[in-house]
Chains A and B, each alone.
Chain A
Amino acid sequence: MRKSKKSMHKRLFFLIFASTLVVSGLLIYVSNNAQAASHTAVSDTLSRLQSSQSADHTITFTLASAWNATETVVIDFADGDGWDTTGFANTEAEDYDIKWGAAEKTIVAQGSCAADSIEITTVNTTTDTFTFTLCSGSTASGANEVIEIQIGENATTGGSGNDQIENATGTGSKKIIITGPTSGDSASLAVPIMDSDQVTVSATVDPTITSDLTPGAAPYTCSLGTLDNGAVNGCEITNTVSTNAASGYNSTIVENGNLCSPSVAVCTYWIADTVGGTIAAGEEEYGVSTTDTNATGITADYDGVACGGATENGSAITGIAQVYADETAAIASDATTLCHAASITATTEAGSYSHVTTHITTGNF
């Protein structure tokens, strides 16, 4: 009886020892022979990388083995990183595009599987996991096909996507895991979530404007010469303006008094201001015309040649500033020529006539 008990203990020890060896061997065998494969060329291009910012995703990877009918691909945004997939559902096929090769696959809601379609099997907005199933009866992908999965507003096939995934709340390298379609196949990738993914570029263009009268040098003069009742005498003065004022500029002319003799201060005689828009030989008239044909103050147009002659267009110069040149946009070297013109009658008093005109150019920035 005692011998039998001892033998039983030996057998029990042997069985436990042998079982331990077998289990350990199996574990080691498994650890040395795991055959899981990884997808390659795995990436996810986001439309925005800023933390907590809504973004579209374009996930691509080269399959380790074919995607066969009824097999699933799971996209898992790592828990704890603060991804927010609220708004996505397995009933909203418009938010997803999936393709391999050139052709986009037909995406269908859960429960609507048909051959050669991909079903949105589940969307778990708690674990931020998307599961896609190649429907039964579908043609399998190639063994090393490049899969592209778009999630968000960048999905356009079968309707425009109207949801986006809100990025992880923290910054740094964030992990996304892909499992399937073949059992054991998987891949992981990372995306760089940032505190700011944008750069604001700014520049300033300072306001500038120049105005220069020609010909000659300051103080500028415009001599009408000896007036004659048989002709219209004239002289030119040109104002050249450059400005980057967005709304352009205007130039005005104003006189200190009439064209007087012996002076404006002691104006014994003066040449009458023109009326009617034209200065004709033999009539006592004085005025000015401008090459800016749409000027609002000095409306008499000057053709830019032969200031004077038998007749000349003219508007009266007054003590009120009148616009003789204007532009509505920035402009460079914009030259406007004024033609001062006068004629007299046989009874116009002899004398030396003069007055001073002032040019004012204003930019409209």
Chain B
Amino acid sequence: MNKTLSKLIIAFIILFSSVTGVLAFSSNSETYKLEGEFGMFGGAKSSETYKMTDTGGGFAVGFGSSANYGTGSGFQYVIAEVREIIFTISSNSVDLESLSTTPKGVPNIITVTTNGAGGYKVSVVEDDNLCTSGTDCITDVSGGTVDPSTEEYGLGTSKSGQYFAEDSDCPNSPFNATAIDNQVRQVASADAPIDNDQTTLCYEAAITGTTPAGSYSHVLTYIATGTF
């Protein structure tokens, strides 16, 4: 029996020696306090067909977020990257003010943070053209730019490779723009996880002398999608 017991103890030691230990920590000052923990087990494992990490025994793990941040607590949240996407629009109101025959552009910034492995995309769709409450509407831009003394309205983006024309120098000339319509059109994207990725959208317009006087408006809906 003693021999058997010795074999079991040796097996036990070998078994547990393959597990990486988890170190606890604690630290504090007048302005902060960090809580440590004692994990039971944890580490990275792999074979030809899989890779994985694990921890056990941690406490206070979980995910939290507000409008402007997302956070994961616990070793596995840090390592495994909890699914997260945050999307903000710098202003929900863009006023082109008084239009003239000279083109103008007004910038608005959208920002995305995501740990989606496939990045993200942001699309936009309009409820209608830029119109008065009556039947007068500013003509959608054509030809890729908003030109002087031409009634045109459209949207440019600082991101390349989008549905909308690239305009990296808003609000200055050239006023590269593409018409917004009632189809969901891509205006920004990234193909990998990214932090605080800003895109400057440029709303651009010009009119002719006969563009009917009035107050014009429409509503754009922005949709951000992460790919995880």
Contact surface of A with B, Cβ cutoff 8 Å:
10, 14, 17-18, 21, 24-25, 28, 31-32, 34-35, 40-49, 171-175, 187-192, 194-208, 242-246, 329-332, 365
A-B contact pairs, 21 of them (CB 8 A): A10-B1, A24-B15, A25-B15, A28-B15, A28-B16, A28-B18, A31-B41, A32-B54, A172-B68, A173-B83, A173-B85, A173-B86, A175-B82, A190-B85, A199-B222, A200-B92, A200-B218, A204-B99, A242-B210, A246-B213, A330-B212
CB–CB A49/B91 < 8 A: no
Q: How far is the CB of B53 from chain A (nearest CB, A)?
A: 11
State which size class the interface on B falls in: 35 or more
**Minimum CB distance partner of B50 in chain A:** A35
Q: Is B138 positioned at the interface, with any CB of A under 8 Å from its CB?
A: yes
Distance in angstroms from B99 CB to nearest chain A CB is 5
Are A173 and B84 touching (Cβ within 8 A)?
yes
In contact, B217 and A197 (Cβ under 8 angstroms): no
By Cβ-Cβ distance, the 9 closest A-B pairs, closest first, are A172-B65, A203-B96, A192-B87, A207-B213, A246-B212, A190-B83, A171-B67, A330-B210, A173-B70
One of A45, A189, A202, A245 near B223 (C-beta < 8 A): A45
Report B's interface with A, CB cutoff 8 A.
1, 5, 8, 11-12, 15-16, 18-19, 41, 45, 50, 52, 54, 56, 63, 65-70, 82-89, 91-99, 108, 112, 114, 116-118, 130, 132, 134, 136, 138, 153, 203, 205, 207-228
**How many Å lie between the Cα of A191 and that of B225 in the bound state?**
7
**CB <8 Å contact, A205 and B85:** no
Q: How far is the CA of A148 from the CA of B219 in the complex (A)?
A: 29
The answer to whether A244 and B213 touch across the interface, beta carbons within 8 angstroms, is yes
A190 to B209, alpha carbons, bound, how many Å?
49
Q: A28-B15, A28-B18, A201-B130 are known contacts; what are 19 more A-B pairs with Cβ within 8 Å?
A: A32-B45, A35-B50, A43-B226, A171-B67, A172-B69, A173-B83, A191-B225, A192-B112, A199-B92, A202-B93, A204-B96, A204-B97, A204-B215, A205-B213, A207-B213, A245-B212, A246-B136, A330-B211, A365-B213
Which residues of chain A are near B218, meaning CB under 8 Å?
200-201
Residues in A with CB closer than 8 Å to B134 are: 246
Question: What's the nearest-Cβ distance from chain A to residue B144, in Å?
Answer: 20
Q: In the bound complex, do residue A171 and residue B66 qualify as a contact, i.e. CB atoms below 8 Å apart?
A: yes
Closest to A331 in B: B210
Q: Which chain B positions have C-beta within 8 A of A43? A: 116, 118, 225-228
A246 contacts which chain B residues (CB < 8 A)?
132, 134, 136, 212-214
In the complex, chain B residues whose CB is within 8 Å of the CB of A190 = 70, 83-85, 114, 116, 226, 228
A173→B63 CA distance, assembly (Å) = 10
CB proximity of B64 to chain A, nearest CB, Å: 8
A189-B226, A200-B94 as given contacts; A205 in contact with B19, CB under 8 Å = no
With a cutoff of 8 Å between Cβ atoms, the chain A residues found around residue B118 in the complex are 41, 43
Bound-state Cα–Cα, A174 to B116, Å:
13
Whether A21 and B12, one on each chain, are in contact in the complex, defined by CB atoms closer than 8 angstroms, is yes
Taking CB as reference atom, which chain B residue is nearest A58? B225
* Contact partners of B45 in chain A: CB under 8 A: 32
Query: Chain B residue with minimal CB distance to A246?
Result: B212
For A206, the chain B residues whose CB sits under 8 A away are 98, 213
Q: Across the interface, name the chain A residue whose C-beta is closest to B97.
A: A204
